[in-house]
Amino acid sequence: MPLNLLILEGDGIGPEISAATQTVLAAADARFELGLAFSHAVIGFDALAQHGTTFPDVTWKACQAADGIVLGPVSHNDYPPKAQGGLNPSGELRIRLDLFANIRPARTHIGVPHPSRHEFDLVIVRENTEGFYADRSMYMGPGEFMPTPDVALATRKVTRQASLRIAEQAFVLAGQRRRKVTAIHKSNVMRISDGLFLDCVRQVRARYPEIEYEEQLVDAMAALLVRDASKFDVVVATNMFGDILSDEAAELAGGLGLAASLNAGAGRAVAQAQHGSAPSIAGKDIANPCSLIVSASMLLAWLGERQGRASLVDAARRIEAAVDEAIADPATRTPDLGGLLGTKAFAEIVAEKVRA
């Protein structure tokens, strides 16, 4: 049976890096005989112009029918209000498909300059469906409100169910890696909400005695990553803390252009670049597609593990290795990494290495 991958190109550099990603996926399909079938649906400003909303029903139906989704970056900060069709496709997918785990690896790469003083390889497992995010904390209405023109309030939702399942995800992943979990919190200030989160992580930890475990205050963790990120393996955090720390880790590893991300639920997953839509460089063929390419490889691995298809896992490993080989050579890098290759040319280089 074909494996249907839906590609949502998004805004800004989205179409360029999505095309680059499809080029690499097609190469993996040819080498490993994966049976991939690509389809496309419109989101973002193009969808707004065509359908009056940035996330139309026809696209949602395509998402429901797909085996996996590759989501390009979107310019949601520039969208009109929801009442005028301005939905954030990323947030909509996370909520509607219950993609509770945002898995963000960060590691240094051989030959690629990075500001960290140490080589490191870690994964931040971020809760994805609640927290301080306004579109994920309320059943109806925003999570932010202003009782007076001079007072703005924001609600933070932390539930036992969400905390338990993201902790479970972290410990399972740690068991496949270096067997260490670090839980991030600010319970010295947010005693109730982060207290509940830590309670749940500790409850899950009791079932994994073989996994080393520690807890870090979020501000201390920000400093410790700069000092020596190599001391960490799997980091589990609530939504906003995980979002901030994963961007920091990505920059320490060489930049957001290399930062992959997978939104995963119990039965569905969406590959998504960790960075934004970068409209200032859109259409110039200079965007680094690595983040979305490696995110797509994570999607293949996720599908392969759940379907028992070793070929998908092997293809994912080969794509990641091909990206590493390409960026290790200054002659085959994009401009953000000090190279001269354009987005399309870089994708072709990676595709050639995948096919080799």
Q: Chain-centre distance of CA 224, in angstroms?
A: 22
Residue 108, domain member (yes or no): no
* Pair (226, 289) in one structural domain: no
Supply the pLDDT for residue 266: 93
* Pair (299, 221) in one structural domain: no
Residue 78, domain member (yes or no): yes
pLDDT interval class at 132 (50, 70, 90): confident
Residue 109, domain member (yes or no): no
Residue 323, domain member (yes or no): yes
* Pair (306, 290) in one structural domain: yes
Supply the pLDDT for residue 176: 96
Cβ-proximal residues to 207 (8 Å cutoff; 6+ apart), any chain: 171
For residue 18 the two structure tokens come to: 């999505």
> Given 219, 253, 287, which residue is the final one in a domain?
253
Total number of domains in the chain:
2
| CB-based contact 28:318 (threshold 8 Å) | yes
- List Cα–Cα distances, 197 to 26, 96, 193, in angstroms: 41, 23, 6
| CB-based contact 11:279 (threshold 8 Å) | yes
Supply the pLDDT for residue 16: 98
Question: How does DSSP classify residue 210?
Answer: T
- Using CA atoms, how far apart are residues 235 and 188, in angstroms rounded to an integer? 19
| CB-based contact 340:348 (threshold 8 Å) | no
> Given 253, 273, 288, which residue is the final one in a domain?
253
* Pair (25, 49) in one structural domain: yes
pLDDT interval class at 143 (50, 70, 90): confident
* Pair (128, 93) in one structural domain: no
* Pair (237, 142) in one structural domain: yes
User: What share of the chain in percent tops pLDDT 90?
Assistant: 95
Closest CA to 279 of 89, 90, 79, 133: 79
pLDDT interval class at 135 (50, 70, 90): confident
C-alpha count within 13 angstroms, C-beta hemisphere, residue 183: 27
Residue 106, domain member (yes or no): no
* Pair (38, 146) in one structural domain: no
Q: Which residues are catalytic?
A: 133, 186, 219, 243, 247
pLDDT interval class at 314 (50, 70, 90): very high
- Using CA atoms, how far apart are residues 81 and 60, in angstroms rounded to an integer? 19
For residue 26 the two structure tokens come to: 């097609």
Mean pLDDT confidence for 189-200: 97
Residue 110, domain member (yes or no): no
Give the domain range for residue 8.
1-99+260-356
| Tens of pLDDT, residues 149-190 | 999 999 999 999 999 999 999 999 999 999 999 999 999 999
| pLDDT over threshold 90, residue 141 | no
Residue 104, domain member (yes or no): no
* Pair (94, 126) in one structural domain: no
Average pLDDT over the chain, rounded to whole?
96
For residue 182 the two structure tokens come to: 């670090």
What CATH code is carried by the domain that includes residue 149? Answer: 3.40.718.10
Mean pLDDT confidence for 78-105: 95
